[in-house]
Amino acid sequence: MTPRKADAAGPLRILLADDHVTVRHGLKLLIDGQPDMKVVSEASDGDTAVQRAQELKPDVIVMDISMPGMNGLIATRTLKQLQPDAAIVTLTRHGDDAYLQELLRAGVSGYVLKQSAPAELLQAIRAAAAGGQYLDSALTARVTARLLGRANKARSRQWPSASARRTCSA
């Protein structure tokens, strides 16, 4: 998929994959209410999501993790093998690091929590369609703190502390 924004070519084409009908209906109302987006298909499991993504080549796939049959993680991995440029936004209730890391490794363009404001999902869809990445703001602080903690530990191993440097230079 070539990154793009909604323009004269029409609104962004979105595929929804979630096993809950009510959730898909609400997402469709939210997305179709945007002037630059349109839901082109829905799937209730990973197998159907992969099939419809191959047939329709949507601009963005919004994928739940917990679905019957092929789950969202396996569907994401499968889609990225078949369509390496597919833009996939994970929409899930799972905020723990294990899911986040596995889905980022699988190649998702965005990770949004279902508990978050609808604007988070819309921003993630737009970012993914433009070829970017998006991480739910509820996760950003934790991920950043962890990365900085690792960076600070690595830096402290590389560079002696200021007091050690003063001692060495004296």
Side-chain half-sphere exposure of 133, counting CA atoms within 13 A: 7
33 contacts 18 by C-beta, under 8 angstroms: no
The rounded distance, in Å, linking the Cα atoms of 156 and 148 is 12
Convert the pLDDT of each residue in 23-81 to its tens digit: 999 999 999 999 999 999 999 999 999 999 999 999 999 999 999 999 999 999 999 99
Local structure of 154: helix, strand or coil: helix
38 contacts 31 by C-beta, under 8 angstroms: yes
Q: Domains of the chain: which residue ranges?
A: 12-135
| Statement: 12-135 belongs to CATH 3.40.50.2300 | yes
- pLDDT confidence of residue 145: 80
Beta strands across the sheet bearing 12-17: 37-43, 12-17, 60-63, 88-92, 110-113, 134-135
- pLDDT confidence of residue 160: 57
Convert the pLDDT of each residue in 101-151 to its tens digit: 999 999 999 999 999 999 999 999 999 999 999 999 989 888 888 778 765
The rounded distance, in Å, linking the Cα atoms of 76 and 74 is 5
**92 against 6, higher pLDDT:** 92
Average pLDDT over the chain reads 88
